[in-house]
């Protein structure tokens, strides 16, 4: 019997703790497949965040560190500097990376730290029950913006790829979406490129995934993807913001 699809070796057998319809599992799989495909499973270390993906350290089948909220890029820096022979990635959500960890991501990117950062943006805090994120859209209702995000009061969502693309050092920055099978295939290419550049020691690589939160958005998975296509993609434009390997500056 020919095996045509199997669990990536870079994922453990631990069952995911994610809600039905959540796209974290897809993002995990893309990263794990890329690590497998580049033969890095035995030389990779990952850093998990605080948030829904807090247990990512149990899901990736390699040495993992669980970081304090927002500090994953600093922890990854410490690992990479202590073990330059290893490859290091972080996996972070929007509250973790774009609110409490803004300083850490900006400065790790600015140092051109040789790590890959995978950033899942679903415009909400999932783990704590649906509070406003730094990427929550204008007028979007959350448990801490019950009347809708008031941009006069709390400002606009942060576009992290565009922000990081103002820095000189980052090697690769791309925003992709996980909202359709075609988008997932594109996302796979971006993840593969980030891991490939990481393997080659090119520098700082960053992939943002536009994702959903059916549970806290109060929608079924299909509807949440349609909502994200209609509302998130116009604000968070997918595309490559930096690829020094391809001359995209």
Tokens of 19: 């809600």
Q: Which is nearer to other proteins, 73 or 157 (CB)?
A: 73
Buried/exposed code over 54-77 (b: 16+ C-beta within 10 A; e: otherwise): bebbebbbbebbbbebbbbbbbbb
Residue 15 Cβ vs other proteins, minimum distance, rounded to whole Å: 14
Residues 177-196 that bind other proteins (CB under 8 A): none
For other proteins, which residue of 28, 71, 175, 188 counts as binding (CB under 8 A)?
71
How many CA atoms does the CB half-sphere of 178 hold within 13 Å? 27
For other proteins, which residue of 11, 45, 160, 213 counts as binding (CB under 8 A)?
45
Tokens of 151: 């941009």
CA 224 to chain centre: 18
Question: Is the distance from CB of 61 to CB of 123 less than 8 angstroms?
Answer: no
Q: Which is nearer to other proteins, 17 or 231 (CB)?
A: 17
Q: Which is nearer to other proteins, 17 or 144 (CB)?
A: 17
From residue 74 to residue 113, the character string flagging contacts with other proteins as x (rule: CB under 8 A) and all else as - is: xxxxxxxxxx-xx----------------xx-xx---x--
For other proteins, which residue of 68, 99, 167, 233 counts as binding (CB under 8 A)?
68
| Phi/psi at 114 (5° precision) | -80, 70
Residue 105 Cβ vs other proteins, minimum distance, rounded to whole Å: 10
Residue 106 Cβ vs other proteins, minimum distance, rounded to whole Å: 8
In the block, residue with structure tokens 């029950």: 129
């Amino acid at each position: 019997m020919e095996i045509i699809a199997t669990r990536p070796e870079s994922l453990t057998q631990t069952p995911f703790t994610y809600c039905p319809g959540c796209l974290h599992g897809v993002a995990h799989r893309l990263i794990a497949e890329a690590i497998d495909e580049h033969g890095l499973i035995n030389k990779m270390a990952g850093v998990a965040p605080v948030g829904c993906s807090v247990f990512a350290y149990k899901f990736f089948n390699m040495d993992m560190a669980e970081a304090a909220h927002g500090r994953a890029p600093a922890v990854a820096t410490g690992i990479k500097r202590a073990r330059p022979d290893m490859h290091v990635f972080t996996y972070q959500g929007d509250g973790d990376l774009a609110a409490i960890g803004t300083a850490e991501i900006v400065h790790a990117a600015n140092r051109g730290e040789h790590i890959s950062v995978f950033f899942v943006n679903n415009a909400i805090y999932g783990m704590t029950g649906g509070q406003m994120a730094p990427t929550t859209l204008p007028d979007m209702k959350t448990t801490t913006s019950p009347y809708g995000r008031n941009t006069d009061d709390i400002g606009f969502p942060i576009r992290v790829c565009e922000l990081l693309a103002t820095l000189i050092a980052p090697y690769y920055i791309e925003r992709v979406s996980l909202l359709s099978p075609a988008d997932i295939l594109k996302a796979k290419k971006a993840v593969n490129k980030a891991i490939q550049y990481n393997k080659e020691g090119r520098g700082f690589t960053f992939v943002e995934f536009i994702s959903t939160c059916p549970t806290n958005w109060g929608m079924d998975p299909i509807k949440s993807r349609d909502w994200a296509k209609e509302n998130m993609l116009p604000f968070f434009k997918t595309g490559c913001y930096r690829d020094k390997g391809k001359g995209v500056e």
